Structures are given as C-alpha cells and as structure tokens.
Amino acid sequence: MRNLVAVPVILLTVILQSAVFSRVYLLSGIADLPMVMLAAWALQEEVDSAWQWAAATGLLVGFISGISWVVPFLGYISVVAMARVFQRRVWQAPLLAMFSITFLGTIIVSVFSIVALSFSGVQLPISDVLGLLTLPGVLLNMLIAIPVYAVMRDLARWVYPSPEVE
C-alpha cells in the first residue's frame, strides 16, 4: 500500500510543472520537474518502485502535453534506467550522480522530442533547439536538482523506514 504515495506525489509534481515551472523561462527553456523528481527518486537505494513511477508520470505528462505520450514515457523510463545504473555501479556520491543524470536526462528527453516532432512533420533547427531550449533547460534542472533530491530522500526514508539495528 505504501506505493500509493505515488499518486499524490506524481499528481502534485505534474500540476506544479504545468502551473508554475512551465511559466518560468530561461531563454525558451524550462525546468522539467517530473524528470528531476524521478531521477532523485530512482537514486534512493531503498526504493523499488521507480519504474512504475516513471511509467505513471510519463503517461500523465503525455496525457496533458500536446507531444506524443511516447516521448515522456520513454524519456522518463530512460532516466530511471540511468539512475539505477549510476546508483548501483558507478558512483557512491549521490549528488554527483544526480547532476549527471539530470544533464543526460534533459538531453535524452530533448532528443526524443525532436525525433517525435520530426515524425509528425515539424522540422526544428538544431542550433536553436540546443542554444535556446536544451542548454537553458539543463541549467534550470541543475538548479532545482539539489532541493528536489533532498525532498525525495526524506520521502524515501519516510516511505521505506530502515529496520532498527539491535
């Protein structure tokens, strides 16, 4: 039943993204709160439901957004996959892993978006996308990465309390 905490957290994250974060521009880029939230959640060792969180968040964002649901779905699944690999094998420094995943995740979601839009007949100039959307988005995501990581770490400790050592 503790997995039901995903419902209010994901709903609140997507509502905040649509109502607040999508209105705060740096050039033409915006922060991607659901992606950063999922990265932070997947980096917590005790969490075992990050894949389901990613799928649910991707489908909900796909429902709200005008872009194909495949983009956030695959994008967020990829972010969780990266977070799992980084958390288990590469680094023990969680903040360094968080920044790396935030950077790579933003790039991956952008690539998926460009590919999806090109399939639907919208050709985007790569230089504009890189300079005006993706890199400003990376910077904004980096700015919110630390506070989001702290919140998700506390949430993980609350949802998955560690057994007391006698």
Partner 1 sequence: MRNLFPRTLQTTIIFLVVGGIMALALGGYFSSASNVFTGSLVNLQTWFSARFVAVQDFLTAPRDIASLRQRNTELEGEVAELQAQVIQLQQEVGETQILAALVDFERVRPENKYRAAAVIGRDPSPFLHYVIINRGSNDGILRGMPVVTDQGLVGRIDAVIADAARIQLITDPASSVNVRLQNAETEGSLVGSVTGDVSLQLIPQQVNVQAGDLVLTSGLGGGYPPDLIIGQVVNVRSRDFDLFQQATVQPVVDFNRLEIVLVIVNFKPVDIAPLVPTP
The footprint of partner 1 on this chain (CB under 8 A) covers a number of residues equal to 48
Taking the complex as a whole, the smallest distance from the CB of residue 91 to partner 1 amounts, in Å, to: 24
Taking the complex as a whole, the smallest distance from the CB of residue 64 to partner 1 amounts, in Å, to: 6
Check binding of 95 to partner 1 (CB under 8 A).
no
How would DSSP label each residue in 54-67?
HHHHHHHHHHHSSS
Determine which residue in the list 83, 107, 132, 135 makes contact with partner 1, applying CB under 8 A: 132
Determine which residue in the list 89, 92, 122, 162 makes contact with partner 1, applying CB under 8 A: 122
Check binding of 129 to partner 1 (CB under 8 A).
yes
Contact pattern from residue 137 through residue 166 relative to partner 1, giving x for each residue in contact according to CB under 8 A and a dash for the rest = x-----------------------------
Taking the complex as a whole, the smallest distance from the CB of residue 137 to partner 1 amounts, in Å, to: 6
Residue 10 · residue 56 · CB < 8 Å: yes
Q: How many whole angstroms separate alpha carbon 30 and alpha carbon 22?
A: 6
Determine which residue in the list 9, 71, 79, 97 makes contact with partner 1, applying CB under 8 A: 71
Q: How many whole angstroms separate alpha carbon 159 and alpha carbon 145?
A: 21
Residue 148 · residue 33 · CB < 8 Å: yes
Q: How many whole angstroms separate alpha carbon 10 and alpha carbon 33?
A: 10
Residues, the chain:
166
Q: How many whole angstroms separate alpha carbon 22 and alpha carbon 82?
A: 25
Helices first, then strands: H and E counts in the chain = 7, 0
Which residues here bind partner 1, judged by CB under 8 A? 3-4, 6-7, 11, 14-20, 22-23, 25, 28-30, 32, 34, 48-49, 52, 55-56, 59, 61, 63-67, 71-72, 110, 113-114, 117, 120-122, 124-125, 128-129, 132-133, 137
